Structure 1
Amino acid sequence: MSLPEKAFPVSWDQFHRDARALAWRLADNGGEWKAIVCITRGGLVPAAIVCRELNIRLIETVCVASYHDYDAQGQMYVLKGISEELKADGGQGVLIIDDLTDTGKTAAVVRAMLPKAHFAAVYAKPKGRPQVDTFVTEVSQDTWIYFPWDMGFTYQEPIAKSSRG
């Protein structure tokens, strides 16, 4: 598998701004949300920000994994489902949150569980866009987003010290 040609590193500050922008769009949408279902793991951080901004107290997770090995490459597995209470009425009034919709495969699995829910993601790629009702930023399909929780900090030598040979 080759690495994507384009990189889009996102800092904590930028992600926080983008997640708040998502909350603004959802508030402007006029939705009265009774609960959030966040797709783990990436949806945990934006869900925390959105639930604070929109004063939503009921938060649940749905855990979907795609195992990439020779036996089941790309097959989706639901590791933890959604409560029956939230699935009632097809998820009407439920807000699904994720950090990114890439191919749309995970989103499609969760949408099937909650067909009437509103799906929101901070970032969207073209293949995943049809699954999302609200998003903040679209990036090209060949862009790899480096989320702040995937990044580490490393010490950098001062310029003056490193130029002393």
Structure 2
Amino acid sequence: MNDRLPHEKGFHISWDQIHRDSRALAWRLDGNGPEEGGTWKAVVAITRGGMAPAMIVARELDIRTVDTISVKSYDHKSQSLAEVLKSPDAAIMGDGTGILVIDDLVDSGKTLQLVRDLFPKAHFATVYAKPEGRPDVDTFITEVSQDTWIFFPWDMALQYVQPYRGND
């Protein structure tokens, strides 16, 4: 009997890995902003998954203005219609010019499409990307297959895991 979740594949991300991959995202974005010297005006995290990567990117790129946009597009593990629950400061955002919008993952692209409709000139960056959502992100670090479920460290606890075969 298989006790796996109903997802075909699982990709487990540790805190160390999300930190390394978020720093790699910052390195990729460094010097590519539209402001003088290639800088960015602000970082906007898509909550909740984008908060840790956005914090790391903001630190690495010395961006002091950080805000959030709260978008709900999942009910536990099933996708639902994306809706904005909290918007970032309109005075900061404008049409999005000079703004880095950061999320942990682009899956179907529905969340990024909704936010891009609001801020069409923002730069959208994610740490991980799936093929369906890839056209909706400007910069990402790692692509995973569409049928992979990513387990982020904020969704897990340390515990013993039974081996696939055997008892030890």
User: What pairs up with 1:40-119 in 2 under 5 angstroms?
Assistant: 40-66=47-73, 68=75, 74-88=80-94, 90-119=95-124
Question: C-alpha displacement at 1:77, in angstroms?
Answer: 1.7
Q: Equivalents in 1 of 2:90, 2:12: separation in Å? A: 37
Question: C-alpha displacement at 1:27, in angstroms?
Answer: 0.6
Question: C-alpha displacement at 1:67, in angstroms?
Answer: 5.7
User: What pairs up with 1:121-136 in 2 under 5 angstroms?
Assistant: 121-136=126-141
Runs of 4+ residues over 4 Å off in structure 1: none
| Structure having the higher Rg | 1
Which structure 1 residue ranges, 5 or more long, are not aligned? 157-161
Using a 3 Å threshold, how does the CA distance of structure 1 residues 150 and 59 change in structure 2: closer, same or farther? same
Contact 2:127 2:141 in 1 (8 A): yes
Contact 1:22 1:122 in 2 (8 A): yes
Q: Equivalents in 1 of 2:42, 2:30: separation in Å? A: 14
Does 2:6 correspond to 1:3? yes
Which structure 2 residue ranges, 5 or more long, are not aligned? 162-166
Q: Report the more deviating stretch, 146-155 or 4-13.
A: 146-155
Please identify which structure carries the higher helix content: 1
TM-score under structure 1 normalisation? 0.86
Q: How well do the aligned residues superpose, as a CA RMSD in angstroms?
A: 2.0
Does 2:9 correspond to 1:38? no
